[in-house]
């Protein structure tokens, strides 16, 4: 079974292009191998749209979110969204794979490190170094 995807549109950003944006979301999701199940639409009046989007991702066990542009996410892709699902942007076409926590980092709390609980600079350096391994292919050793 193909992984599922949802579209995400901000009506105030799409404006009169809303139907076109929905078509592009569905087309790109299918081309990338996702099974689009629905498109969620919020407006500028929606309270905390990213939190509601994250709730939908968790409830529907969605693998990817497809958006027409980064402007629909407020100009940048929230880390919380990248942690929850793959994020695919239609224009310019780009994909951001889900980022799982770095298992090699020691646990941190908001009482240590920066106010966001990201730990020490050394832990951040190790996390950045570990991300360089993402996407690489590792073949098993020949026996």
CATH architecture observed for domain 4-96: 3-Layer(aba) Sandwich (3.40)
Q: CATH 3.40.50.1390 residue ranges in the chain?
A: 4-96
Q: What is the pLDDT of residues 80-134, one digit of tens each?
A: 999 999 999 999 999 998 866 666 666 654 444 444 444 444 444 444 444 444 4
SS3 138: coil
**Of 67, 93, 92, nearest to 81 (Cα)?**
67
- Whether the predicted model's global pTM rises above the 0.75 cut: no
Cβ atoms of residues 6 and 37 within 8 Å: yes
Rounded to a whole number, what is the distance in angstroms from the first to the last CA of the chain? 33
For position 100, what pLDDT does the model report? Answer: 64
């Amino acid at each position: 079974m193909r992984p599922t995807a949802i579209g995400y549109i901000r009506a105030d950003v799409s404006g009169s292009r809303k139907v076109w944006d929905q078509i592009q979301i569905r087309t790109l999701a299918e081309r990338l191998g996702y099974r689009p199940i629905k498109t969620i639409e919020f407006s500028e009046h929606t309270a905390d749209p990213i939190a509601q989007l994250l709730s939908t991702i968790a409830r529907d066990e969605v693998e990817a979110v497809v958006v027409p542009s980064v402007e629909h996410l407020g100009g940048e892709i929230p880390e919380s969204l990248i942690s929850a699902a793959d994020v695919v942007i239609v224009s310019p076409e780009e994909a951001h794979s889900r980022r799982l926590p770095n298992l090699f980092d020691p646990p941190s709390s908001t009482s240590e490190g920066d106010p966001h609980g990201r730990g020490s600079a050394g832990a951040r350096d190790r996390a950045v170094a570990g991300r360089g391994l993402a996407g690489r292919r590792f073949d098993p050793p020949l026996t």
